Amino acid sequence: MSQSVQLYFSFLTHILWGRVDPAQRPGARGDSKLENDPVEDTLSSSSDESESFPTVPGGDLSRIGGAEGYSWFEMIPFWRAYRPWLAARGFHIFEPRYGQGSYGYELPPPTQSPAALPYARFIDIEIDPSISNTPPPKFAPARDSLTRDVMIKLVKKDSDEYRIYQDLQGCSAVSGNALRGVIPPVAILDSQYDFSFIVMPRWGNYTPLADFQTVGGVVSLIRSLLKGLAFLHSRRIVHRDIDFHNIMVNCYTFGPFRDEFRRALEKHRQGPDASHCLMDFDRSLKFPLDTPLDACRLPADESLVSATPFQPFDLSLAEHDYDPFAFDVGCLGAIFQLNYAEMVPVVPMLAPLFDQMTTHVVSERFKAAGALAFFEDVAHQLPSDVLSTEVKLVQSWDPVDDPNVYWSKLPPDFCKMPGLYRTPPPSLVRRILTVIARYSIGWRILLFVRSVLRV
């Protein structure tokens, strides 16, 4: 490349990625598009692909998103620059729309493609274009050459997240796209830089877990999520961010979730085609496949990568490390306790399932595969009239804090059945340590002693 061309692209980089106040940018004061867009000029004037496509703003994916990172608006030139590159590979990014008081995308006509898995069902409802609806800056909505909707995410090469997507894609190819409670990518497109484009089928991220109307709907969801977690753990993938926002459903729409969409979603989730999946692996880790689950340990501070409120009490007594796979199971079990405790009187065997997923005795906690096998045995014995039973679910933290809330709703004879797991009361030692840990000086002492003695 000549020195003049290098200077030209250096100037373009300064223009595109300079941290300018969005209010001072062209198009920020009512323009429908950027005037004299340098990206458009570059693409029309250069035919050399290797020289036409920039790296990410700031040269580092970690600088995208968050309070201080590059925003959705600031990522527009980047995504525009890659539109022809992605289109040549069969994926067409939506055109961003901004200015005149709203932000979002120019939406294409509703897809007519059938919602065959791993793709999701699209609900066509009228959208108010004045309402902003933008994904995080690392994401861009797109449509493939068969008019199927996808989401494209930027992921760093050679990261755990990248390797996880590679693994999921390989497993999907071997199993013929069979869904296992996890969404596989449909394409991984490596750029010339240290990032890749992960292309995922577009699913819905609006999944109100307590809005099911029947026992059957809840059974379907629990089965899907346990399948997903068991599959991830079988691949030695620890999720580390089990939370509402990482549960997806194969039903979506463009724009905000109004009553019309909520009604259509509820109807879909009552039918046999509804599927739920675990999603988002940016905080996940992948261990070698031959690693025994019980041998995996992480330092205690690694649990802080997630802000999920469903964390079990595995680190409440100043433990210096923890079992991340058991931690995942505890998080999912707490989600079940929060949302489905009201269903225990109808399906009593949920009580021991919830307890053994969340027990403070980590050595007695279910593995994900064990929880799935237990639940499948329970579900197979449920008659159709039970599955069609209407339920009124109420979210409450009380069952999470005290499982006796749902055990008290069961007949005494059932609770005395031999072989049922029930979380034991805390031992005397645990009660003493709990009292000590309530005080800051006690916590520091416990932390020091445990760190030194590795107990």
State residue 131's pLDDT score. 61
State residue 176's pLDDT score. 56
CA distances from 14 to 8, 19, 28, 191, 321 (A): 10, 9, 19, 21, 45
Q: Looking at domain 215-424, which of 1.10.510.10, 3.30.70.120, 1.10.3470.10, 3.20.20.120 is its CATH number?
A: 1.10.510.10
Q: Which segments of the chain have a pLDDT < 50?
A: 1-50
State residue 35's pLDDT score. 37
Cα–Cα distance for residue pair 92/147, rounded to 1 Å: 9
Query: Closest Cα partner for 16 from 47, 46, 55, 69?
Result: 55
For residues 137 and 71, the answer to whether their CB atoms sit within 8 Å is yes
State residue 41's pLDDT score. 36
Domain ranges of the chain: 3-201, 215-424, 425-455
Q: Find all residues with CB under 8 Å of 161, minimum gap 6, and list them.
A: 155, 281, 282, 284
- 3-state SS, one letter per residue, for the chain: CCHHHHHHHHHHHHHHHCCCCHHHCCCCCCCCCCCCCHHHHHHHHCCCHHHHCCCCHHHCHHHECCCCCECCHHHHHHHHHCHHHHHCCCEEECEEEEECCEEEEECCCCCCCCCCCCCCEECCCCCCCCCCCCCCCCEEEEEECCCCEEEEEEEECCCHHHHHHHHHHHHHHHCCCCCCCECCCCEEEECCCCEEEEEEECCECCCCCCCCCEHHHHHHHHHHHHHHHHHHHHCCEECCCCCHHHEEECEECCCCCCHHHHHHHHHHHCCCCCCEEECCCCCCEECCCCCCHHHCCEEHHHHHHCCCCCCCCCCCCCCCEECHHHHHHHHHHHHHHHHHHHHCCCCCCHHHHHHHHHCCCHHHCCCHHHHHHHHHHHHHCCCHHHHCCECCCCCCCHHHHCCHHHHCCCCHHHHCCCCCCCCCCCCHHHHHHHHHHCCHHHHHHHHHHHHHHCC
State residue 382's pLDDT score. 97
State residue 270's pLDDT score. 86
State residue 15's pLDDT score. 36
